[in-house]
Structure 1
Amino acid sequence: MTLVVLDPDGRHTAECPGWLADAGDELHLITGRTGVHPGFARVTVVDRYDRGTAAELAVLDTAARTQVRAVIALAPVDQVRAAGLRERLGLPGQSREAALTLADSVAAHTLLTRAGIATTPRAEVRRVADLYWWAHRWGYPLAVRPRRGPDRPVIAELSDEATLRAAVAAGLVPVDPAQVPSLTVEPAVTGEVRREEGLPLDGVLPADPGHPYTVETVRNPDGRRLVHALRYDPEARPARELVRAQAGVGARFPEVI
């Protein structure tokens, strides 16, 4: 049996063999960092780790050679990749839908709305006309953010139509309609944003000790708190706990949603 460890920058490579010493499985490391990596039965170094499918192909190659028991991934860039591999190989652990919910703000908004959980407004931006449409619908000010990623900071604040036109002229949205930007737009948040780890979200995310998340909420004018964002938060717990939980050592895997 083999445990596959995805670690793009080698941040946890040195500690993983010790953390998993009692698992009784061989360890296969897939990383973008060259060098000596003791404690692993096999090491695959992938060039341009985050810009292709080489990491996924390396996992599938391992699965063709031996029985893979779990795919372990802590880096935010690996969450959807690892979850998709688990589903492809029929392994327990975080599902692709759950991983995508924490990585993609539009997917999260859709799933939260479907579950009847109150959220702040947010919409995908695919073309310049979308910005004008939502400005007409919501008014100003608006905030534009990256759709995906662990941080998703505000990259443009649109206080009125003049600032919208200026942002577009500066290249906020590609002129070529074939190039779809990975952006969202929302009414600018003016109140305090509260961050809470693991706030229960029934019907959206299962309890999962290997994939902690943070829920950001803001207060509505009527006093209710609305969910503003969901984020995978690997810093919320010690890395050792996350690695062991994802390996199924000392913690149950979550149910697949």
Structure 2
Amino acid sequence: MILILVSPRQRRLDLRAALGEDLGRTLLITGGPLPTGAEDAVLTVPLEEYGTEAIVAAGLRLAERYPIERVVSYAESDVIAAARLREQLSLVGQSPASAAAYRDKALMRRHTAAAGLPGPRSWCVEKASQVRAFVHAHGVPVVVKPRRASGSVGVRVLDDHSALGELPENLPDHVVEEFVPGTVVHVDGLMVGGEPVFALPAVYTELGCLAHLADQGGGSSLLPPEHPWYTPLVEELWNVVRALPPADDLLLHAEFFVSEGRTPVLCEIASRMPGHPIPPMLDRALDTSLQQVWTRVAAGLECDTEALGKRAAEGRLVANYGLPPRLGALAALPEAPPPECAPWVRDLEFGDGQVWDADRYARRKSGDFVLTWTVTAPDADTLQERLTRSAELLEAQVRWEPPPRDRGHEEAVMGVGAG
């Protein structure tokens, strides 16, 4: 049996297309909408509280009834649960030691530093006073972030000493590290049977994965193989993988800082699917669904990795872009790409939910979007021009209004709409 963990944030998972007849020997633990093909699984276990402890407990209960051979996960929140189940059931796949190194930002820094890889000085902290001590020792700017969060949640860039006063006094399980100047890029890769299959570097737009904090859209574009950063980034990805506790099969999403004339510096690395809308971009570059490829690899099923590697090496140029939620209610979204960019804007997708009230808005992640798309082009310059133009045209068609509750409150205060 193949046990598959489906987190609430897992998008458009098509198990029927990925597994075919093997879908009939799958078990699902879910925390949200059911994936395509779920009705053909042996059993689906929905969890109201979808978290590591509940997932492990549910998996162990299933193992009492079914002979589980593999555990498949996609999301960062599931990596530890999947690894613990493998260990307790004596299964192949990523171990807890490996999973922890890819999940815990402080632990991954220790491993890469021990391997001699470049990286910023950093401390584990629990209190704002420790951040102030780090700044006293090493200066500003610095970055403060949770050790195990994802989606850029809780990341703070402190540019000057005055910003220290805005920190909460308690910062449990955080790290503070020197700010690394340079361009932020990501590299997504796949390892099967201990051998690299592909690595695809891409450069983020200006604010990268922190753009949503400024209510700005953002995305990334794949680098062509001839770009001077391409080879150093691919090499550094595999250097980082070798520095961390090993696993035979790994789906990788890493971020690096790049400056001219310097070795890329690791920001962080994760062993899971990249956040949306990076997957549609990679799917276009690979001419297949990465989600489905990983499903087969993690399930121990046959996968043509040689063909996948060749497609990745072709250097197809694709970019992605997304518009983040704002505080309010969506009043208008484009139904289709504007005519002038329709031939090269692809994969237009709409996010979940029309209303972003104060509570939901405060909890938004870098992977939360109301509209996303990909862009294709014959060369790198044209790709950037089209990416910029598509963002201008599509964002102009998005309109926000105050949340219903706020709007009603304002009307009541102003006496509008009174009977």
| TM, length-normalised to structure 1 | 0.81
Distance in 2 (CA, whole Å) between partners of 1:167 and 1:83 is 37
Match of 1:183 among 167, 174, 199: 174
| Aligned match for 1:200, one of 238, 244, 250 | 238
How large is the Cα RMSD of the aligned pairs?
2.8
CA distance in 1, matches of 2:259, 2:13: 43
**Cα distance, 1:216 vs structure 2:** 1.4
Find out whether 1:173 has 2:169 as its counterpart.
Answer: yes
Structure 1 position 208, deviation (Å): 5.0
Could you tell me which residue of structure 2 aligns to residue 6 of structure 1?
A: 5
Distance 1:189 1:10, change over 3 A: closer
Residue of structure 1 in register with 2:296 after alignment: 244
> Does the Cα contact within 8 Å between 1:146 and 1:152 map onto a contact in 2?
no
Say whether residues 1:227 and 2:266 are aligned partners: yes
1:114-129 paired onto structure 2 within 5 Å: 114-129=114-129
1:123-142 alignment to 2 at 5 Å? 123-142=123-142
Task: Describe the SS at the equivalent of 2:238.
Answer: coil
Structure 1 contact 3–71 (Cα < 8 Å) conserved: yes
Whether 1:30 and 2:68 are equivalent positions in the alignment is no
Shift of 1:154: 6.6
Cα displacement (A) at 1:88? 1.3
Deviates more, 1:27-36 or 1:94-103: 27-36
1:97 Cα offset (Å)? 2.2
- Work out which structure has the larger RCO, using CA pairs closer than 8 Å and 6 or more positions apart in sequence: 1
For the structure 1 residues 231 and 54, does the alpha-carbon distance in structure 2 shift closer, same or farther, using more than 3 Å as the test? closer
Q: What are the Cα deviations for residues 180-225 of structure 1, in whole angstroms up to 9, with x where unaligned?
A: 61322112233222333342022325475552232413449x7333
Mark the runs of 5 or more structure 2 residues left unpaired by the alignment. 190-236, 274-278, 284-289, 305-419
Equivalent position amino acid for 1:241 in 2: V
For residue 182 of structure 1, give the secondary structure of its aligned residue in structure 2. Answer: strand
Secondary structure of the corresponding residue to residue 183 of structure 1: strand
Q: Percent identity?
A: 23
Runs of 4+ with >6 A deviation? none
> Does the aligned pair in 1 maintain the 2:5–2:28 contact within 8 Å?
yes
**Cα distance in 1, alignment partners of residues 153 and 179 from structure 2:** 12
**15-24 or 2-11, larger mean C-alpha shift:** 15-24
For 1:37-186, list aligned pairs within 5 A.
37-50=38-51, 53-152=53-152, 155-164=155-164, 166-168=165-167, 172-174=168-170, 181-186=172-177
In structure 2, what residue type is equivalent to 1:200?
Answer: W
Structure showing greater Rg = 2
200-209 vs 139-148, which moves further: 200-209
- Do the aligned partners of 2:144 and 2:177 also contact (CA within 8 Å) in 1? yes
User: 1:45 Cα shift?
Assistant: 0.9
Q: Aligned equivalents of 1:115 and 1:5: distance in 2?
A: 34
- SS of residue in 2 equivalent to 1:130: helix
Decide whether the 8 Å contact of 1:80 with 1:96 is kept in 2: yes
Separation (CA, whole Å) in 1 of partners of 2:243 and 2:127: 32
Give the TM-score normalised by structure 2.
0.52
1:122 and 1:85 mapped to 2: Cα distance? Answer: 32
Say whether the 8 Å CA contact 1:145–1:184 is kept in structure 2: yes
Q: Distance in 2 between matches of 1:25 and 1:38?
A: 10
Kindly provide the amino acid, as one letter, of the partner of residue 299 in structure 2: A
Displacement of 1:139 after TM fit?
0.8
Instruction: Give the aligned residue type for 1:86.
Output: R
Q: Distance in 2 between matches of 1:8 and 1:233?
A: 12
Q: Which range moved further: 184-193 or 230-239?
A: 230-239
Distance verdict in 2 for CA 1:24–1:67, change over 3 Å: same
Please say if residues 293 and 303 of structure 2, whose CA atoms lie closer than 8 Å, have aligned partners that are also in contact: no
**1:100-142 deviations in Å (ceiling 9; x for gaps):** 2222211110111222222222222211221122112211122
Q: 1:217 touches 1:229 (CA, 8 Å); kept in 2?
A: no
